[in-house]
Amino acid sequence: MKLKKFEYAVAVAVLALVAGCGGGGGGGGGSATTPPPAGSTPPATPGQTDFTVGGTVTGLRAGATVTLANGADTLPVGANGSFVFPTTLKSGAAYEIKVTPPGGYTCKATGASGAVGTANVAAAVDCAPNVLAGVVGSLQEPVAVTSDGKGTVYVLDAGLHGVQKLDAAGALAMLAGGTGQPGLVDAKGSAARFWLDGDDNNGATVDSQGNLFIMDGCNGAIRKMTPDGVVSTLAGNGTTACYNVATPAVKADGTGAAARFEKPTSMASDGAGGVIVIDANAGLTVRRVNSAGVVVTTDYANPDPSQPTISLRTITRAENGTVYIADANNRIWRDVNGSLVLHAGSLVGGSAQNGTGANARFVAITGMTTTPNGDLYVSDFASVRKVTPSGVVTTLAGSATRGDKDGVGSAAEFGNLLSIGFDGTNLFVVDSGQEVLRRITLDGAVTTVAATPAVRKTINGDAGSARFGSFSSLAADAEGNLYFVDPVTHVLRKATPAGVVTTVAGVVGSAGLDNGPVATAKLAAPTRVATGRDGSIWVAQSLGLRRIKDGTVTTANASVRPIGLTVDNEHNAIVVTGAGTGEVLRVTPAGVTTKLVDKAQIQALVGANANFVPQSVAVDAAGNIYIGDTGTVAVYKLTPGGALTVFAGTPFKETGNVDGAVNVATLGFYEVDHLAVDEKGFLYLSGSGNVRLISPAGVVSTPNFVWGSAPIGAITYNKGKLIGMTRYAVVQQYFTP
């Protein structure tokens, strides 16, 4: 099972109408009157025979206009408050208010259709902005960067599973893939599918004809894309390396689809229309793929007999044909007539050091690129290093201090560099500290690319100024407030239905286990949050389970390691423990802990080879507990009476996102998964590329939610709204299955 790290936060959310509301009309005359607040019925006046149709609008932000229609009457409403149609109706006449939301909103109407009685009609129209709080960003999870050397920069985005293009004018656009749904499909543009992984090195390179080669690691394939976005597969055809259900990955030489890669981790052009690939667990081998897709494995002799085990990790090729390869010990080797010769780096120490050849040291080499004069540039953890053809190593920009500062040389700060490329004039790096692109001149001046602004922060404020620090978890209370935690800054935060964000508990940047009033209590790497009907808020930490009630923080269980969390109808926490122990536990407010499900029960149900790795959990109104298990890629149901069944998905079958009934549907669990349940008992499951919908009968479907390709992590359902959290924003939409 592959558990994802808690990542920093940003996202795009593109939402549209889900809940329309009523329609119809009626005639009549008379003057309009202002109705009372929605939810009440305006009284009739003595002798009244004509009645108004109106109500209230809520949820609009400044500048948004909702359009309402009843029959021939059309009424634009540009502010929250009361509305009334000009045409009145007589008792018994039908009315139906149709709602056209503003762009970027969904709306829900209550009491919007029916027959007029003996009182004025008062409907309630509530509109929800698609982005509740935070910002919309163009990059979700950039993992690799390369260039054609003529000013065009390509970025692989593992969050969207697509290829983005930054043109010479600085505009960023999706060129291929980008739906957020993993897959392996050869096609043009958005019809193509990739499965890009955010946890390991990813690679891309461009040949002299302008073709982009993409290292599609989780598909075990080398993909080729023409300059106009037509994607094909050069070699490879599937791997199980990224599946949660463990099966051996296979390496095999061959041609095209007959070849097998375990999981490519770095790649360079071979200068002849093919590529040189470093595969997972490479040792001292590289895989050479020619322009016809023929794959051949080449072995290098051990260049350092004092180190019996050397594993190659990162590769690049200079214009003069010199191939440079970095190993897992952060040494850079040069291929000289098929033998590896040390170019720069040393096994000694763990800090960066400038120098020549073996006197230099690197911290963590993640990418390499060259310039036409033969200089080699290396992304080395939080700095960019320059290596001359003679092996002289200097630091071009950055230092051991991590951050997100633009500047020159050591005054610049990077968060965590993943990849580096050269566009013919400047260097570009992927900085996963902020999920941005940084531009670096050859003089060491660092700027953040304007199309990818740094927005990862822990900032409270209104919907537009609030900023978020990470994926985490979502929960909602009876008033519609949302709660989420930030494991990096150690706080619990809240967003009101209007998107105003505040800190509820914890001290930003200060981890601790102090209980007491929320103003002074501390949290330690909180990872999940859940709310109870009694007004309690439960917080799962990397170690320990905390509870907040009446403004006071207590510790319910200090030793449990919760991965998933919910609260049952009796106000107890239900915890799943993931890969560590593979259990479902009930924890009372007093700390009494009971095991509900363990690995042995799952094995008795689906087979002795089951590896129970529960990560998500939800409880419905009837008290049924639903468990998302990445170990067997299925959702289980535990009734209040203790009956355990497979509820959705097909155990052990991880072959994509197939919709259907239990033992037909498949659940990918590509990312960290979350479960939510609505009032009707429908489940919502994230972590499969799209949010999946599971009916009360266990039938899985994949709706087209209006947030489009935004990679949703945490989810919850509250008051008719499905709410999701991306890396940079909280998004929402009205949704009724």
pLDDT tens-digit map of 507-516: 999 999 999 9
Each residue's pLDDT tens digit, 490-537: 999 999 999 999 999 999 999 999 999 999 999 999 999 999 999 999
Query: 510 Cβ partners below 8 Å, 6+ apart?
Result: 490, 522
- pTM here is 0.88
Q: What percent of the chain is modeled with pLDDT above 90?
A: 79
- pLDDT tops 70 at residue 292: yes
pLDDT average, residue stretch 717-729: 93
- pLDDT tops 70 at residue 577: yes
Round to whole Å and give the CA distance between 103 and 464: 17
pLDDT average, residue stretch 381-386: 97
For 605, which DSSP code?
H
In which band, very low, low, confident or very high, does the pLDDT at 670 lie, cut at 50, 70 and 90? confident
In which band, very low, low, confident or very high, does the pLDDT at 15 lie, cut at 50, 70 and 90? very low
- pLDDT tops 90 at residue 334: yes
Round to whole Å and give the CA distance between 74 and 72: 6
- pLDDT tops 60 at residue 224: yes
Q: What is the DSSP string of 435-468?
A: TEEEEE-TT-EEEE-TTS------B-BSTTT-B-
Query: 690 Cβ partners below 8 Å, 6+ apart?
Result: 180, 181, 657, 702, 705, 712
**How far from 666 is each of 334, 669, 698, CA to CA, in Å?**
46, 9, 12
pLDDT value of position 101: 97
pLDDT value of position 718: 96
Q: Taking the chain, what is the end-to-end CA distance rounded to the nearest angstrom?
A: 31
Q: Which residue has the higher pLDDT, 343 or 22?
A: 343
Of 294, 285, 344, 289, nearest in space to 313 by CA: 285
- 3-state SS, 617-685, equals EEECCCCCEEEEECCCCEEEEECCCCCEEEEEECCCCCCCCCCECCCCCCCCCCCCCCEEECCCCCEEE
pLDDT value of position 632: 95
Q: Which residue has tokens 């960290």?
A: 672
State phi, psi for 256 to the nearest 5 degrees: 60, -125
Each residue's pLDDT tens digit, 26-60: 333 333 334 444 445 566 677 788 999 999 999 99
Name the helix (H) or strand (E) containing 565: strand 564-567
Round to whole Å and give the CA distance between 656 and 534: 39
Round to whole Å and give the CA distance between 202 and 211: 17
pLDDT average, residue stretch 394-398: 98
pLDDT value of position 241: 87
pLDDT value of position 222: 97
**How far from 597 is each of 43, 573, 584, 650, CA to CA, in Å?**
56, 14, 5, 19
Round to whole Å and give the CA distance between 346 and 357: 8
pLDDT value of position 138: 82
pLDDT value of position 363: 95
Per DSSP, which regions of 102-257 are E strands?
Answer: 105-110, 113-115, 121-129, 131-134, 142-147, 153-157, 162-166, 172-177, 204-206, 212-216, 221-225, 231-235, 254-255
Q: What percent of the chain is modeled with pLDDT above 70?
A: 93
Residue pair 396/440 in contact (Cβ under 8 Å)? The answer is yes
pLDDT value of position 41: 56
pLDDT value of position 238: 86
- pLDDT tops 90 at residue 203: no
- pLDDT tops 90 at residue 350: no
For 279, which DSSP code?
P
Ranked by mean pLDDT, which of 140-149, 245-254, 546-555 comes out on top?
546-555
Round to whole Å and give the CA distance between 432 and 364: 14
- pLDDT tops 80 at residue 722: yes
Round to whole Å and give the CA distance between 354 and 385: 9
Q: Residue 411: helix, strand or coil by DSSP?
A: helix
∠ CA 154-156-157 to the nearest 5 degrees? 130
Q: Residue 610: helix, strand or coil by DSSP?
A: coil
Round to whole Å and give the CA distance between 122 and 8: 44
Q: What is the DSSP string of 57-126?
A: EE-PPTT--EEEEETTEEEEE-SSEEEE-SS-EETT-EEEEEEEPPTTEEEEEES-EEE--SS-EEEEEE
Q: Residue 252: helix, strand or coil by DSSP?
A: strand
Q: What is the DSSP string of 222-238?
A: EEEE-TT-BEEEEE---
pLDDT average, residue stretch 557-569: 96
pLDDT value of position 137: 76
pLDDT value of position 110: 96
Residue pair 163/156 in contact (Cβ under 8 Å)? The answer is yes
pLDDT average, residue stretch 175-184: 90
Round to whole Å and give the CA distance between 111 and 324: 69
Specify which residues 733 forms β-bridges with.
Answer: 722
Candidate from 12-21, 88-97, 297-306, 385-394 with smallest mean pLDDT: 12-21
Please give the structure tokens belonging to residue 122: 């008062």
Query: 608 Cβ partners below 8 Å, 6+ apart?
Result: none
